[in-house]
Amino acid sequence: MTIALSGKEIAHQMEEKFPQSIIESSPEWLVVDRQFLLEVAAYLKKTPKLDFDYLAAITAVDYLDYFEVNYLLTSLRRNHSLVLKARCYGRDNPSLPSVVSLWRSADFQEREIYDLFGISFEGHPNLKRIVLWDGFQGHPLRKDYL
Amino acid sequence: MEIEEVYSSEQLDRAEGEQIEALMARSQEPIPDPDEWLEEELKRNILLTSVDAMLDWARRSSMWTVVCFPACCAFEFIATAASRFDISRFGMEIIRASPRQADLMITAGTLTWKMAPQVKRIYDQMAEPKWVIAMGACAISGGIFRSSYSVVPGYNRIIPVDVYVPGCPPRPEALLYGIRMLQKKIAKISLVNQGR
């Protein structure tokens, strides 16, 4: 069985490494400041003790005040997992840094979130709609979409 | 010693050879075909009918379905095609992957607007005469997905539909009933007025 690492413990480690990078944490997850997202993600992937080599999924939630993007990370070699979150504000042009450079599996997932939530991922190599067609008005999974 | 002789390969070969020789000896004449049941008229090979009736009979008795199964109704269609419900009784067990070789489209599933141009194109590629059975609630009206931003509210927005089969999904019996309805419709087509 894959062991879910405590968000609180990882957050503690991150705070030492990158001060002020963690906004909030719980035993299940940790929320990272968007400015530190790429650094923290790279650290999670490349540190041998953590070794998160596999990005299982990216999901997004519309909380009306902000969008929250969840990165479900797994280490295949160490058989443990972690939920990393990032928040972005504003409904006109919310954006987050892309993690495609770290995990190739983020490519389609970030495009889907861009398509359905309208969050743009800076640095994505091919950011365009994936499920809906080019020219579709609006982003259907937003809470205010009618 | 005796047992070894009975089961020697030489003895078995010889026994097999004798069997074959005996079968060959009694099979020198062909067995007559069982055709006593044929009526006198059929034996003389004369049938009287109109060209309309003949054409409609030919068309409705071997409809070939094109592959257009975008969602879950496909499984009821597969059940209909398989041995228990068996649409080969209607001469239509062949499911064509090429629209050029098909004259019936059974629209088994929800259609999204992104998929709609492809379905329209498949329909356009089918050779005349061609028919469409809208199978299931989604094909008729969009079903439970009708108000969705991405779903076509009924195939009749993009292609003309001949028969509607309701259900979510329709049972194979319902689809077979729809096929029988279509056959009745085809039976009424006349060369003069094309019937549609």
pLDDT in tens, B13-26: 888 889 899 999 98
Whole-number pLDDT of residue A70 = 95
Closest CA to A84 of A17, A34, A141: A34
pLDDT band per the 50, 70, 90 thresholds, residue B106: very high
pLDDT band per the 50, 70, 90 thresholds, residue A133: confident
Q: List CB contacts (< 8 A) between A140 and chain B.
A: 149-150
How is residue B28 written in tokens?
């020198």
- What is the rounded average pLDDT for all residues in chain B? 85
Mean pLDDT, residues A3-8 taken together: 89
Q: Is residue B175 part of a domain?
A: yes
Say yes or no for a CB contact (<8 Å) between A131 and B114.
yes
Whole-number pLDDT of residue B43 = 66
Q: Is residue B2 part of a domain?
A: no
Complex ipTM tops 0.85: no
A106: left (phi over 0), alpha (psi -120 to 50) or beta: alpha
- Per DSSP bridges, beta strands B65-66 and A66-75 are unpaired
| Measured distance CA(B159)–CA(A22) in Å, rounded | 55
Closest CA to B67 of B114, B112, B99, B101: B99
Mean pLDDT, residues A54-76 taken together: 94
Q: Considering its fold, how many domains does chain B have in total?
A: 1
Q: Which of B113, B114, B149 lies nearest to residue A140, judging by beta carbons?
A: B149
Say yes or no for a CB contact (<8 Å) between A133 and B149.
no
Residue A119 has pLDDT above 90, yes or no: yes
Determine which of A71-85, B44-58, B107-121 has the lowest per-residue pLDDT on average.
B44-58
Residue A104 has pLDDT above 70, yes or no: yes
Q: Where are the beta strands (DSSP E) in chain B?
A: 65-66, 95-96, 104-108, 131-135, 163-165
| C-alpha pair distances (Å), B21 with each of B8, B25, B141 | 20, 6, 69
Residue B196 has pLDDT above 50, yes or no: no
**For residues B54, B56, B61 and B63, what is the CA-based torsion angle, rounded to 10 degrees?**
140
CA distance A57 to chain B (A): 24
Output the domain CATH number for residue B183. Answer: 3.40.50.12280
The answer, for B117 touching chain A at a CB cutoff of 8 Å, is no
Instruction: Report whether A81 contacts A4 (CB < 8 A).
Output: yes
Q: Is residue B44 part of a domain?
A: no
- Where along chain A do its domains lie? 3-122
The answer, for B150 touching chain A at a CB cutoff of 8 Å, is yes
Closest CA to B158 of B132, B189, B128, B195: B132
Q: Is residue B128 part of a domain?
A: yes
Residue range(s) defining the domain that contains residue B63: 51-187
Residue B48 has pLDDT above 80, yes or no: no
Closest CA to B161 of B187, B182, B190, B142: B182
Whole-number pLDDT of residue B29 = 86
Determine which of A57-66, A76-85, B44-53, B116-125 has the lowest per-residue pLDDT on average.
B44-53
Kindly identify which residue of chain B lies nearest to residue A146, measuring between CA atoms: B149
Interface test with A, best of B115, B145, B149, B152 (most A CBs within 10 A): B149
Q: Is residue B16 part of a domain?
A: no
Whole-number pLDDT of residue B1 = 43
Q: Where are the alpha helices (DSSP H) in A47-126?
A: 106-117
How is residue B171 written in tokens?
């049972």
Residue B56 has pLDDT above 80, yes or no: yes
Whole-number pLDDT of residue A135 = 85
Mean pLDDT, residues B89-98 taken together: 87
CA distance A19 to chain B (A): 44
Q: Is residue B1 part of a domain?
A: no
Level-2 CATH architecture, domain A3-122:
2-Layer Sandwich (3.30)
Mean pLDDT, residues B170-196 taken together: 84
Measured in Å, how far apart are chain B's first and last C-alpha atoms? Answer: 85
pLDDT band per the 50, 70, 90 thresholds, residue B52: confident
**For residues B103, B108, B114 and B115, what is the CA-based torsion angle, rounded to 10 degrees?**
-30
Q: Is residue B126 part of a domain?
A: yes
The answer, for A130 touching chain B at a CB cutoff of 8 Å, is no
Q: Is residue B41 part of a domain?
A: no
Instruction: Report whether A71 contacts A56 (CB < 8 A).
Output: no
The answer, for A141 touching chain B at a CB cutoff of 8 Å, is no
Whole-number pLDDT of residue B47 = 67
Q: Which residues contact B154 (CB under 8 A, 6 or more apart)?
A: B134, B139, B140, B141, B142
Whole-number pLDDT of residue B15 = 85
Whole-number pLDDT of residue B194 = 60
pTM for the model: 0.72
Mean pLDDT, residues B133-152 taken together: 91
Closest CA to B158 of B103, B98, B114: B114
Query: Tokens 């549609």 belong to which residue?
Result: B196
